[in-house]
Amino acid sequence: MSRIITTISDRRKIAKDTYEVTFKCVEGEFHFTPGQYVEVILPDLLQADTKGSSRFFSITSKPDDNQNISVAFRMSDSNFKKTLVDKELGSQVMLRGPFGDFSLPNDDTKIPVVLLAGGIGIAPFLSMIRCAVERLPEQSITLIYANSKVERAVYVDELKALSDKYQNFTLILKYGYIDPSFVKRSVNNQQNCLWFICGTPMFVHNAKYILGELTVDHKQIKYHIQAGYGERHLQIDSREISHKYFNSKEIESYFLNGVNVSSNPLLEVLSQSVLISVSDPNGIILYVNDYVLNITQYRREDLVGKNYNILNSGYHPPDFFQTMWETIKSGRSWRGEVRNVAKDGSFFWVDTIISPIFDDDGQIKYYLTIRFTITDEKRAEEELHQKTEMLQTTLEQMRVREVELEKIKKATLNILEDLDEEKRVVEKKVEQRTLELQFEKAKILQVTSNMKAGAILLDGEGKVEFVNRRVYEILKVSPAEAPLDRIVSMLCEHFDEKDRVCANVERMLKGESFMEPELTSGSRIYEVYFQFLEEQNAAIPTADRFILVYDVTETKLLERSKSELVAIASHQLRTPLTAMRGNVELLMDESYGPLNVDQKELLSDMDISTNRLISMVNDMLDITKIEKGTLDMDPEDVVLKEVIDSICEDFSDYARRREVVVSINVPKNISVFVDRSRVRQVLQNLIDNAIKYGGRPGKLEIEAMLDGDYALVTVKDNGIGIPKTEHSRIFGRFYRASNTSNSSSSGSGLGLYIVRSIVEQLGGKIWFESDEGEGTKFSINLPTKKIAEPG
Ligand code: ATP
Ligand code: MG
């Protein structure tokens, strides 16, 4: 047996209220023999059907037309059939089967076969005939096809054509009832034929009766109630049975007085497949037929004289039987599906009709109970129910899945749309950024084109994008003589230090920025900037490079002559100034005679001024040396404490006058590796400032400690401090903070400039912390060891 999902591929109306429906299968998917039937299960009905969503139908198609499975049925008010007729072609259905062993003999005896079909009972025969006429040419087949009316007959044209075409097939059509004489006339040698009957239950029973009349051995008869009619669908109205067929006398004569039921043909037929019993008005069993014993496994004496409770399985609620009793006691028949229990404890289901049988006075004398076993059908129904539910659950799940998939699809589309939107936004940003960059470039180009400096703009690969006019002037060529791809090499060639410049260009292309303060070309001096412009917030990476060439010949020459002038002037000044100071000292020592108070005061003023001038000249000389890079250095191990003590010693008078208390916290063991006189000069300057700009009373703390390979020296005062806004300018030449104008102290503003230059040349660093009115702390660090020469 197989179970397949197929689709409705075709549908025809083949007679009045009669349809043939075809399902499309994959070849070889569904095997059956002619005469078998199939269960059709619909996933959903257009309208609910109390008998569920599956039905059995005989297969009308031939097995070798395996791709098509056809069934035929009469229309009724069943919603199942209506759905099958109204559903769109292509709709899915499930087929289960095949079922039944109602098929032609498969041996060589070749006994003539007679088929008795009533109405739509033709269906299983159709498949048999279609198949056998071709395959079994020696098999004689006669079909007696009975229909109530012409318009109810189906496949008549086809059957006629087949009987004309094939010798072995005879068609006998009959409109109206068939009776023994008709069958006798139509078929010779009835006892030697194999009989197949199919139709409604009544038709089958009637046909069996006819064949009985014709003394056909029941072993020669095969019958099949048209699929779709279970025995329980026998169209017998129980009231009709009781009133039409039986009165109390008949009950007594058929059942209770031992008269054989076979005297009534209908009863005989029923007796073979139906449970018949009779009880008195109190439900005490008076009679059971053999079939009851068969099904219940009880002996007759176990049942007769008892009530039906013996068969009660306890399945139904008490009001079920109460309703039953109320119905039958009121003189009406009752019908219901009952689960009973057999002697061995197994259950069986019966479709039960209980009819009251009245005596001549109209009183209920007996109850006639007729039961059809429906256990298999109940089971099938249960199975079907489960299957349908399963199918429905599966379909439901599929529907849910479909909805989910639809949701996922929508979500995916949304995401794709968002992505698209995002892409558009990014593209727009990139576009805008590119534009901005182009603008920036344009601005740069505009600026550079009017610049005094020569400007070359390159991209990251070193490709020259722009050269301004000034470059050509510097190189002394016309733009035609210097194409863009040669301009950088021409520039390198231009300088005396061409290898150095080439190396610099390489460094810049790799992303470094730096400045060469002095490159020369013959007598010309240039300041050259190699600039890497990194895009800070680059949506697209750009790294443009600039080479800016400033001709600083004039400025440099001017500076040089200025410092030469200063140097010369300073030298020239220093000699007479030193002489002056010596002479003033001699006079003050009264080496040339005693002085009066006024003379002494005058000489003291002269001494101060000369000293100031000398120190200023010295500063100027130092500056020229610093700027020329000729400040001589002779490093050695210098014990810091010694230097600091000695300076403080020199400043002790000065400090006392300024009411400054000096505290020194410098360990003896710290020495620095520097030029002795220069470190002294530095510390002297810092201590001088700390006293000069210190508090009144002042507190000066000098400390030193080791910090790795360096000694950290701090000079801290509690004086006027340096305003935060001026911190950046304090190391500049001639710079004096704004708050010093209030103090009486004089100064040139050169001290710290010289100090920083010296500290840096000594290999150290200088910094400070201060704010106006908060005091000042200067820190320097100086190497304690010889520093490795750079490079
Ligand atoms: P000189 O050349 O004689 O040293 P100067 O002391 O004025 O003159 P710098 O030593 O260079 O010049 O100092 C520059 C300025 O920094 C000072 O004029 C002063 O305003 C400020 N300054 C330096 N040291 C201190 C300090 N310890 N406290 C407050 N201000 C200071
Ligand atoms: Mg100073």
- Give me the pLDDT at residue 543, please: 45
DSSP state of 144: E
Work out which ligand 1 atom sits closest to the CA atom of 720.
Answer: 29
CA of 624 to the centre of ligand 1 (A): 20
Asked whether residue 244 carries a pLDDT value surpassing 50, the answer given is no
Which of 17-31, 205-219, 718-732 has the highest mean predicted lDDT (pLDDT)? 718-732
Per-residue confidence band for 539, with pLDDT thresholds at 50, 70 and 90: very low
Q: Whose CA is nearest to atom 24 of ligand 1?
A: 689
Per-residue confidence band for 234, with pLDDT thresholds at 50, 70 and 90: very low
- Give me the pLDDT at residue 240, please: 41
Ligand 1, from 618, 686, 693: best to mutate by most atoms within 8 Å of Cβ?
A: 693
Ligand 1, from 662, 689, 728: best to mutate by most atoms within 8 Å of Cβ?
A: 689
Q: Whose CA is nearest to atom 15 of ligand 1?
A: 736
CA of 619 to the centre of ligand 1 (A): 14
pTM of the model: 0.40
Q: Whose CA is nearest to atom 27 of ligand 1?
A: 690
To the nearest whole number, what is the mean pLDDT of the chain?
A: 84
Three-state DSSP at 553 gives helix
Residue 55 belongs to what H/E stretch? strand 54-58
Q: What is the mean pLDDT of residues 461-466?
A: 83
Q: How far is CA 488 from the centre of its chain?
A: 54
DSSP state of 750: -
Looking from the CA of 351 toward its CB, the CA atoms found within 13 Å total: 17
Ligand nearest 688 Cα, by number? 2
Ligand nearest 750 Cα, by number? 1
CA of 717 to the centre of ligand 1 (A): 13
Identify each DSSP E strand in 125-273 by its residue range.
141-147, 169-175, 194-199, 221-225
- Take residue 574 and report the two structure tokens written for it: 């220093």
DSSP state of 726: G
Q: What is the DSSP string of 568-585?
A: HHHHHHHHHHHHHHHHHH
Task: Tell me the per-residue pLDDT of 727-764, one tens digit each, with 9 for 90 and over.
Answer: 988 998 888 998 886 655 678 888 999 999 999 999 99
Asked whether residue 79 carries a pLDDT value surpassing 80, the answer given is yes
Q: 68: buried, middle or exposed (CB in 10 Å: 19+, 13-18, 0-12)? A: middle
Return the number of other C-beta atoms located less than 10 Å from residue 138's C-beta. 8
Three-class SS string for 366-420?
A: EEEEEEEECHHHHHHHHHHHHHHHHHHHHHHHHHHHHHHHHHHHHHHHHHHHHHH
- Give me the pLDDT at residue 230, please: 44
CA of 783 to the centre of ligand 1 (A): 25
Asked whether residue 616 carries a pLDDT value surpassing 80, the answer given is yes
Ligand nearest 776 Cα, by number? 1
- Give me the pLDDT at residue 144, please: 94
Work out which ligand 1 atom sits closest to the CA atom of 754.
Answer: 11
CA of 762 to the centre of ligand 1 (A): 21
- Give me the pLDDT at residue 743, please: 57
Asked whether residue 540 carries a pLDDT value surpassing 50, the answer given is no
Q: Contact, 636 vs 673, CB < 8 A? A: yes
CA of 736 to the centre of ligand 1 (A): 6
Q: Whose CA is nearest to atom 17 of ligand 1?
A: 736
CA of 731 to the centre of ligand 1 (A): 9
- Give me the pLDDT at residue 687, please: 96
Ligand nearest 738 Cα, by number? 1
Does the N-terminal peptide bond of residue 697 adopt cis geometry, omega within 30 degrees of 0?
yes
- Give me the pLDDT at residue 771, please: 92
Q: What is the mean pLDDT of residues 571-579?
A: 82
Work out which ligand 1 atom sits closest to the CA atom of 619.
Answer: 2
To the nearest whole percent, how much of the chain has pLDDT over 70? 91
Q: What is the DSSP string of 297-360?
A: ---HHHHTTSBGGGGB-S-S-HHHHHHHHHHHHTT--EEEEEEEE-TTS-EEEEEEEEEEEE-T
CA of 747 to the centre of ligand 1 (A): 7
Pure H helices in 14-108: 79-86
Per-residue confidence band for 643, with pLDDT thresholds at 50, 70 and 90: very high
Ligand nearest 771 Cα, by number? 1
Q: 409: buried, middle or exposed (CB in 10 Å: 19+, 13-18, 0-12)? A: exposed
- Give me the pLDDT at residue 542, please: 52
Looking from the CA of 708 toward its CB, the CA atoms found within 13 Å total: 6
Per-residue confidence band for 440, with pLDDT thresholds at 50, 70 and 90: low
Asked whether residue 388 carries a pLDDT value surpassing 80, the answer given is no
Q: What is the mean pLDDT of residues 559-581?
A: 80
Task: Tell me the per-residue pLDDT of 41-62, one tens digit each, with 9 for 90 and over.
Answer: 887 777 777 667 788 888 988 8
- Give me the pLDDT at residue 243, please: 44
- Give me the pLDDT at residue 782, please: 95
- Give me the pLDDT at residue 162, please: 92
Q: Is the dihedral of CA 502, 505, 510, 513 positive or negative?
A: positive
Q: At what angle do helices 640-657 and 676-692 cross, to 10 degrees?
A: 30
Q: Contact, 520 vs 496, CB < 8 A? A: yes
CA of 770 to the centre of ligand 2 (A): 16
Per-residue confidence band for 117, with pLDDT thresholds at 50, 70 and 90: very high
Q: Whose CA is nearest to atom 25 of ligand 1?
A: 689
Least confident of 153-162, 243-252, 291-300, 354-363: 243-252
CA distances from 2 to 124, 221, 379 (A): 19, 29, 18
Ligand nearest 778 Cα, by number? 1
Residue 283 — left, alpha, or beta (φ > 0 → left; ψ -120 to 50 → alpha)? Answer: left
Q: What is the mean pLDDT of residues 8-15?
A: 90
More confident residue, 30 or 446: 30
CA of 78 to the centre of ligand 2 (A): 119
Pure H helices in 217-285: 238-240, 248-251, 265-273
Ligand nearest 737 Cα, by number? 1
CA of 755 to the centre of ligand 2 (A): 9
Q: Is the dihedral of CA 324, 326, 329, 331 positive or negative?
A: negative
Least confident of 363-367, 391-395, 722-726: 391-395
How far, in Å, CA of 782 to CA of 520, rounded?
A: 34
How far, in Å, CA of 464 to CA of 483, rounded?
A: 10
Q: Contact, 93 vs 44, CB < 8 A? A: no
Least confident of 76-85, 269-278, 607-616: 269-278
Task: Tell me the per-residue pLDDT of 283-324, one tens digit each, with 9 for 90 and over.
Answer: 999 999 888 998 899 999 999 999 888 898 888 888 888 888
Per-residue confidence band for 66, with pLDDT thresholds at 50, 70 and 90: low
Asked whether residue 571 carries a pLDDT value surpassing 80, the answer given is no
CA of 751 to the centre of ligand 1 (A): 7
How far, in Å, CA of 690 to CA of 674, rounded?
A: 23
Ion ligand 2 residue ranges (Cβ < 5 Å): 689, 751
- Give me the pLDDT at residue 439, please: 65
Least confident of 74-88, 218-232, 423-437, 547-561: 218-232
- Give me the pLDDT at residue 233, please: 36
How far, in Å, CA of 70 to CA of 60, rounded?
A: 5
What's the residue count for the chain? 791
Ligand 1, from 752, 768, 778: best to mutate by most atoms within 8 Å of Cβ?
A: 752
CA of 685 to the centre of ligand 1 (A): 9
More confident residue, 108 or 497: 497
Asked whether residue 462 carries a pLDDT value surpassing 50, the answer given is yes
How far, in Å, CA of 388 to CA of 231, rounded?
A: 23
Per-residue confidence band for 627, with pLDDT thresholds at 50, 70 and 90: confident
Work out which ligand 1 atom sits closest to the CA atom of 753.
Answer: 11
Q: What is the mean pLDDT of residues 226-232?
A: 52
Q: Which residues form ligand 1's pocket by a CB distance below 6 Å? A: 685, 689-690, 693, 717, 719-722, 730, 735-737, 740, 747-752, 776
Work out which ligand 1 atom sits closest to the CA atom of 749.
Answer: 12
Work out which ligand 1 atom sits closest to the CA atom of 775.
Answer: 28
Least confident of 265-279, 434-448, 642-656, 743-757: 434-448
Work out which ligand 1 atom sits closest to the CA atom of 690.
Answer: 27
Least confident of 103-107, 245-249, 465-469, 529-533: 245-249
CA distances from 447 to 46, 440, 464 (A): 84, 10, 17
